[in-house]
Amino acid sequence: HGAMYGELPYIASKGALHQVTPTLGAQLVGQGITVNCIDPGPTDTGYADPDRHREVAQAAPAGRWGRPDDAARLVAWLVSEEAGWISGQVIASDGAWSARPRWAPPE
């Protein structure tokens, strides 16, 4: 959802997933195969140093990093019969990270 200096391979792979998901979802749904992509936002998997961890938590609308189980619950639902009509979607499950304001006009 923005520039990530020094992360070209990472953002290129994310961009590819964002583009291939709708095409595969539409192409395969007629065969009973659904294809979706989850965009979990910042997820605490232990990679961030304490300063970065604090910085991201403060910037997050939910006031915290995502946890692996946040995405896992969505995956569990997507593979259930209840979600059989959902295909070709990139789903942001990020505690409003992608919707957060990045700029506010001066008061």
- Catalytic residue status for 5: no
**Which pLDDT score, from 0 to 100, does residue 104 have?**
65
**Which pLDDT score, from 0 to 100, does residue 66 have?**
97
User: Distance between CA atoms of 25 and 22, rounded to whole angstroms?
Assistant: 5
Alpha helices in 29-81 (DSSP H): 50-59, 68-78
| CA separation, residue 79 to residues 12, 19, 28, 43 (Å) | 26, 21, 15, 21
Whole-number percent of the chain with pLDDT over 70: 95
Greatest pairwise CA separation for the chain in angstroms: 54
One digit per residue, pLDDT tens: the chain, 107 residues? 677 888 899 889 999 999 999 999 999 999 999 999 999 999 999 999 999 999 999 999 999 999 999 999 999 999 999 999 999 999 999 999 999 887 766 77
Of residues 7, 10, 16, 68, which has the active-site annotation? 10
Neighbours of 9 (CB within 10 A): 8
pTM exceeds 0.85: no
